[in-house]
Amino acid sequence: MSRTDEFAIQEIARAVGTTSRTLRHYDDIGLLPPSRVGANGYRYYDAASLMRLQRILLLRQLGLGLPTIAEVLDGEQDSGVALRTHLRWLEQERARLGRQIESVRTTLRKHEEGEQLMAAEAFDGFDHTRYRDEVVGKWGREAYDRGDRWWRSLSADDRDEFRRTQREIAADFVDARARGLTPDGDEVQAITRRHYAWVQAGWQGTAPSAEAFTGLGQLYVDDPRFAANYPDSAEFVRDAMRVYADRNLR
């Protein structure tokens, strides 16, 4: 029998829709040790274990690998702060998905009723063009058109992979700040190097100049649409991008 304040491994597996084998694997690699092991060899988990498991599952949804998740969790000094940050992320994602749902509903309704569909209605929640004015204003119409053609040429899988890479980088920035790292430190600069490569990929191989990269970092702070990608960390990311530009691009 399990105690009233803890749960057997089978109960946890059923509750989260995973398997006991997965939870045992998490234990074997040191990611999620049980709160105790019974005389019968069964693993039991308390409230703290459940909170850690929730963080693991949330970070897995962002596309992080298990070794990276272990580093993130071991470096967190306050699980409550981390969960609040992730909650804001999930709320933003829920809002985006809500717009997509309404967009599809509108498309379906207008298709069935023979009404004309507006582009803004069809792509709300999907639309990469919401940053068009910023791109044109800072880097010119040709830069926007080139990026637009590139994005439309990608397969659905390639687009998903591009978005997943951005989410991983954003998560690493947010967690680095939560762990008390500094923008000029080696670990944060390694994340920034990945971010630079991601931006360069989005610019179809054109390497951003120091001015363009730092300008993009400032846009993360100035525009709440960009800042939403880095909860409580936009200024941290901007500063890391400035350091990277000063060290590598000038």
- pLDDT value for 164: 83
CA 70 from centroid of its chain's CA atoms: 16
- pLDDT value for 194: 94
As a whole number, the mean pLDDT across the chain is 77
Q: How confident is the model at residue 135 (pLDDT cuts 50, 70, 90)?
A: low
pLDDT at 184 > cutoff 60? yes
Lowest mean pLDDT among 39-43, 49-53, 154-158: 154-158
Closest CA to 86 of 8, 12, 15, 174: 174
Closest CA to 194 of 228, 241, 230: 241
Cα–Cα distance measured from residue 195 to residue 192, given in angstroms and rounded to the nearest whole number: 5
Phi-psi category of residue 180: left, alpha or beta, with phi > 0 → left and psi -120 to 50 → alpha: left
- pLDDT value for 186: 94
pLDDT at 146 > cutoff 90? no
Report pTM: 0.52
Closest CA to 177 of 238, 124, 118, 110: 238
- Model confidence over 80-121: pLDDT tens digits? 666 666 667 667 667 766 766 776 676 677 667 766 544 443
Are 85 and 174 in contact by the 8 Å Cβ rule? The answer is yes
**Portion of the chain with pLDDT greater than 90, in percent:** 15
Burial class of residue 196 in the structure, from the number of CB atoms within 10 Å of its CB (0-12 exposed, 13-18 middle, 19+ buried): buried
| Cα diameter, the chain | 69
